[in-house]
A and B are shown apart, each in its own frame.
Chain A
Amino acid sequence: MPIRFLHTADWQLGKPFAGITDDTKRHAVQAERFAVVERITSLAVTHDVAFVLIAGDVFDSPTPTRSLVSQFCSAVGRIGRPTFVIPGNHDHGGAGGIWTQPFFEKEAAALAPNLRVLLAAEPVVVGSSAVILPCPLLRRHENQDLSAWLRSLPGLPSEAQSLPRIVLAHGTIINFGGAGAATDDDEASASGVNHLDLGRLSPDDYDFIALGDWHGHMQVGPKAWYSGTPEPDRFPRGETNLPGHVLLVDADRGSAPKVTPICTGRLGWHDLAFTFREGAGIDAFTTEFESLVGNRTHSDLLRLQLDGALGLEEHARLAALRETLDARLLRLKEELSIAVQPTDDEVKALTLRSGEPLTVRVAETLVLQTSDPDPGRARVARAALRSLHLALRSAT
């Protein structure tokens, strides 16, 4: 008998987004993680799903605060359908984890009677609709394959034999090439701790494998899918990464599942790299930025990588432009390695001033010092030259 359900994962509730300096903007991005749960609830109703599966990392940390727990339980309660969750690497089910804390159990019982936290590797029969085979992460450091117990499936009750069998797991199945520990919480990092060897499972034993951990949605086997996070929470890494979806799954025992990704994400996370050079200055950069973000405000986050070389005047314009971008965007994350070198004209303007003998002398000295072999001294000299340029502009 076919069954329909929603597969989601990696809600990362409580993610601090600490890199966002502005409190309002930070709160807005944090709030969006609960707003998407409301959208998931609507989808559950619209598509009349039997249940919802959350494949780990509901919380961003194993120790969410009481307030966050209440907010989560309340949101799940509003889904109104059975909702199954397993711990992931961010919110593992081991010692100190949230799932066995008394205040969690109390709030869940009070606000989300439809929530079931699966903390044991054993089959769970969901009424007469499906058998869920969870692979919960019960330790902080797990170096065993949590799906190993599925290689020889224990006996199921006879009434469950014909039900679709759905594996619920959190972990990596391939090396996604994460760059180790990220420096910011809005950058991707490889979890790499809990590896799932799905190749050792008999394909006919299972009808769908619902995976969490990878934030883009992706099919990784004939019946295996990552749903990705329903609301993007970090800057993109590669073209194939498509976060901001949930999967609507129709499954049946012994047949291939039907999987429909549905977009749920709202915020735009962008990556823009631009190299300043002759013919590609501030104007060209402005055009590129506008094509990416348009006139939107407070709904986009941008990682901006700028390099190349700029003259003093252009650099001053860039500074002004960056202020504008910072105001419009929820987050402007800058990685700048721009060589600020006065143009020939600017050097001339500074050094060919017959009326200002001192200024000329100072400008000449500073221009020389920008080529100092000590990068620190050269940097200070460039900044001093910029200051001189600006001061001269306002003095004349």
Chain B
Amino acid sequence: MRIIELTLQNYRVHREVTVRFEAGLTLIGGPNECGKSTIVEALHRALFLKAVGNTAEHRAMTPLSAASGPATVSVRFHAAGKNWTLRKVFGGKGSATLGADGGTSLSGDAAETRLATLLGVDGPTKGSGLQLQWAHLWLWQGTSGYDPTDPEQLPQARLTRSLQDQAGGVLLSSVIDDRLIRHFEGETSRYFTPANGRPTAELADAMQALSASQERHTKAVDRLRRFETAIDDFEDANRLLEQNVASARSLASERSQLEEQKGQLSALRAQEAREVSDVEKCSTAHADLLSHHNAIAGKAARLDELGRAIKPLSNQVSETESAATAAQGVAATAEETRTNSHAVSAKRRADYDLLQAFIHHRQAEGRLAELVARETDRQNATKELERLRTERARLPAVDAKILQQLTRLESERMEADAQVRSLATGLELLASDLPVHAGPLTLKRGEPVTITTETELSVGSSCVIRLRPGGGVSLADAKSTQAKIAEELSSLLGSLGLATVAAAQEARTAIDILTGQIKAAEKALGSREFSSLSEELNAARTAVTSAHAQLERLRNASTDAPLPDNLKAAEFKLSTARAAQETASEEAKQADESASSARKHAEKLRGAAEEQRRSLAEKECALRELETELRLLRATHGDDVTRATRLADANQAVNAAKTCLSQTQEAIKALQPDLLERTAVRLSRAEESLRREHTAQNERLIAAQALLRSDGTEDPVRDLADAVAALRRAEAHHDALVLEANSVRLARDTFREAQQALAERFTHPLVERIGGYLSCVFGPGTKVVLRHTPERFDGLSLVRADGAAIPFPALSGGAREQVAAAVRLAAAEFLAKDYDGTLPMVFDDSFAYSDPVRVRDLQSMLDLAASRSLQVIVLTCTPADYATLGAHTHSLGT
């Protein structure tokens, strides 16, 4: 079905307007308020609104100026293989006529019914629901962003049928399928909440029951374990108590043995103390005796020793004194030698210094003479320079420029002379009878004349011949030039005081030679040799004076030294004098050391002799004191024999006491007193430990008994058996329920997946078509996912080339318009099969949210639709945006 032409009369703002529609693309452009939407509204009303009526829609279409007549819409369209003409006059007295070309015309209800059949709708609409007629093909202003799969926007049943036809009659589901789906949905919802798939109360209860059983089981196990642990504790404590008693018995026996040994030890210790005292007493007596005896013997020995020591000492004193006197003599000799050596050394030094002063003096004089000679040279050079400068000043001032000028003038003059010479005419009288005059000159035979100017040659008086040398005035010019150059040359030479150019050249050469000589002389004078000559001369004179003064001073000091004749001899003599001076100095030094050493030796010997004398005196004094002391001691403690007898008796008593003590100590050692102490500590520790262990095990026993005492109200063994059985039952119930729940959920999920797979197979051609349209706008690879339940299309998402899926409601306003248009166009393609393969699609300002670039892309989508036999009608207030659509355009003015 497609629209061919539409004519409106008295419809809202339109008095009368006719619009022709192309089979493919038609663009209706015009500014806002110009009545674009009114045109497609009128078309829609003509197709779907019953002509006769007085609804709000009828009233709304009446023009503002009611006098013009009722709103009338005529439509030419193609449907069911024919072209039809429909005319509807709207209003209470409205009418409808419909006729096919070449056929009879229907009117009234018959026309309305036939029209509805052609359009595939239930019947003419009287008002309500009018806007929804062909809502999938008619994008009213503001509806372009609606979900195109919404049942109000899409004739789902019709499209489903069409898709089924396309897919060879694929069945989505059967009655039994649906029943099973409902069954498994219901069963699954028994166990899992539909909202989020969490377990429902039934499943949760089983889980809770299982958990409670596990808890009960754990408690029962714990209780029985406590009971059994108490039994083990009781038995263990009992066993340990028995062991404890045995240990206590063994400890007591050990303790009594220990006490007996301790008694023995105590008795022995008392005896030991007494014997120690005896030993001490005897030892003290013996020690006293021995001390006196030893003191006397010591002093006697000391006396002998002193007597032996004194004699050699007095000999030694006299020997040392002799040696000291001899050493003093040696020291005096050495001092004399030292004095002589120093005198010789001073003389050698003076000779050396004199020679050195002489050499310095001579060298200073030499240097002064050299400088005086250079001064003379300098004065001569200055005189020569002044002479050269004078000589150069006398020469004419011919510089290179003037010489060049002279040379040029000379050359030019020679050229001018040559030219004049070449222009002159020579006359020679060979023979004449008559006087021949050339100008003022009279020619004579054999005397050639040269004329250079215009001259009249008269022979006699009748013959006058004018001669013009050179034939013209050029000879005169040449001569003038010659004269000018000669004058200029002469003037220049005159200014220089020269006669010829050759003289000038000569002068120039002389100047150059002199200038070179002057420069050389100046350079020589300015050299370093002369620059500081004056200072050097002064310094040299001072040096000579100073060296002379030094020489004179040393000469006066030195009486006998003859000075050499010349410098060379002096330098030779100086080296000899240096060696002599060094030798003398070395000898003086050695003499110093010898003298010092001899003096020290003499002093040392004198000190030693003194010390020996003092020591001898001390020893003699001590000897006398010792003799007195010894005499006194012997008188007090007896003589040597008496003392020896007493000493032997005391020693015997000490030995006897020590033997007794040693025996007692052996007995003590045999008892191992340390071990006895340690044993006592160990036994106390063990007894304490046993006491503690006994108490602990007793407490443990009592505690276990308390736990084990039953009042017959509980049986933990039986309780555990019950808990185990209950747990097993709960597990079984839980497992069975979980299996049931999971199995029905699996069945449900599998049904859902199967359903989805079938739906995808079924919707695949539609999805493919939509993708084709979307590619025009979003690029290749863009597609939609379209869910389909057995009842309806449900859920549209856009999938970009990168795989991201965005549900339709989440798309931007622009994208929604574009996706909706693609879905509607694709759906229209399938639906068009019932309408001779074509259907109109109306887009009334449907891309308000799309930017200009997208609108351009959309045009290729609309063009694709037209190429697939859809009749695309676009209304826009910006026709320029659709310039590339290539549509037939109908423009409306304001």
Contact = CB atoms under 8 A, between A and B. Distances in A.
Contacts of B610: none
Interface stretch (A192-200, A206-214, A243-251, A355-363): A355-363
Contacts of B725: 16, 18-19, 184-185
Contact of A96 (B177, B184, B708): B708
A69 interface: yes
B268 interface: no
Contacts of A384: 742-744, 746-747, 750
A365 B183 contact: no
Contacts of A61: 715-718
Nearest to B743: A383
A365 B758 CA distance: 14
Interface string B711-727: 11111111001101110
A94 B758 contact: no
Contact of B712 (A103, A381, A395): A103
Contacts of A366: 746-747, 750
Contacts of B682: none
A161 interface: no
Interface string A356-396: 11110110011001000000000111011011100110011
B164 to A, nearest CB: 12
Contacts of A380: 739, 742-743, 746
B183 A395 contact: yes
Contacts of B711: 66, 103
B746 A359 contact: no
A129 interface: no
A49 B238 CA distance: 40
Interface stretch (B168-176, B479-487, B647-655): B168-176
B230 interface: yes
B730 to A, nearest CB: 11
A169 interface: no
A95 B701 CA distance: 10
B885 interface: no
A395 B751 CA distance: 15
Nearest to A70: B712
B180 interface: yes
B198 interface: no
Given A184-B725, A358-B173, A395-B179, A94 B231 contact: yes
B616 to A, nearest CB: 108
A21 B727 CA distance: 12
B704 interface: yes
Nearest to A392: B180
B728 A358 contact: no
Contacts of A358: 173-174, 177, 180-181, 751, 754-755, 758
A379 B715 contact: no
Given A362-B747, A388-B747, A14 B718 contact: yes
A150 interface: no
Contact of A357 (B177, B704, B713, B750): B177
Given A63-B715, A66-B712, A362-B751, A16 B180 contact: no
A80 interface: no
A396 B177 CA distance: 11
B729 interface: yes
A65 B712 contact: yes
B235 A63 contact: no
Given A16-B721, A184-B725, A357 B174 contact: yes
Main secondary structure, interface of B, reads: helix
Contacts of A379: 739
A395 B176 contact: yes
B176 A386 contact: no
A395 B234 contact: no
A361 B754 contact: yes
B740 interface: yes
Contacts of B231: 94-96, 140
Contacts of B57: none
A356 B174 contact: yes
Contacts of B747: 362, 366, 384, 387-388, 391
Contacts of A381: 743, 746
B614 interface: no
B150 interface: no
A356 B177 contact: yes
A18 to B, nearest CB: 3
Contacts of B177: 356-359
Contacts of A392: 176, 180
Interface in A310-362: 355-359, 361-362
A255 to B, nearest CB: 41
A63 to B, nearest CB: 5
A113 interface: no
A326 to B, nearest CB: 13
Contact of B750 (A14, A104, A362): A362
A65 B747 CA distance: 51
Contact of B171 (A14, A357, A386): A357
A98 interface: yes
Interface in B727-766: 728-729, 739-740, 742-744, 746-747, 750-751, 753-755, 757-758
A62 interface: yes
A229 B183 CA distance: 54
Interface in A33-92: 60-69
B173 A357 contact: yes
A139 interface: yes
Contacts of B713: 65-66
A110 to B, nearest CB: 14
A216 to B, nearest CB: 22
A18 B726 contact: yes
A193 to B, nearest CB: 13
Contacts of B707: 96
B678 interface: no
A18 B725 CA distance: 5
B755 to A, nearest CB: 6
A388 B718 CA distance: 43
Contacts of B171: 357
A218 B181 CA distance: 63
A260 interface: no
A67 B704 CA distance: 24
A69 B181 CA distance: 60
A384 B712 CA distance: 50
B230 A365 contact: no
Most chain B beta carbons < 10 A, residue from A63, A64, A65, A396: A63
A95 B176 contact: no
Nearest to A379: B739
Contacts of B173: 356-358
Contact of A140 (B179, B232, B705, B753): B232
B573 to A, nearest CB: 128
Interface string A149-169: 000000000000000000000
B222 to A, nearest CB: 15
A96 B717 CA distance: 12
A95 B708 contact: yes
B242 to A, nearest CB: 14
Q: Which 3 A-B pairs have the closest CB atoms?
A: A66-B712, A18-B725, A96-B708
Interface of A: 14, 16, 18-19, 21, 60-69, 94-96, 98, 101, 103-104, 139-141, 184-185, 355-359, 361-362, 365-366, 369, 379-381, 383-384, 386-388, 391-392, 395-396
18 contacts: A16-B725, A64-B718, A66-B712, A94-B234, A95-B238, A95-B708, A96-B227, A139-B235, A140-B228, A184-B724, A184-B725, A357-B177, A358-B751, A359-B174, A369-B746, A379-B739, A383-B743, A387-B744
Interface of B: 170-174, 176-177, 179-181, 183-184, 187, 227-228, 230-232, 234-235, 238, 704-705, 707-718, 721-722, 724-726, 728-729, 739-740, 742-744, 746-747, 750-751, 753-755, 757-758
Given A94-B231, A103-B710, 14 more contacts: A14-B718, A21-B729, A60-B717, A65-B713, A95-B230, A95-B231, A104-B712, A359-B180, A361-B758, A362-B751, A387-B184, A387-B747, A391-B183, A395-B183
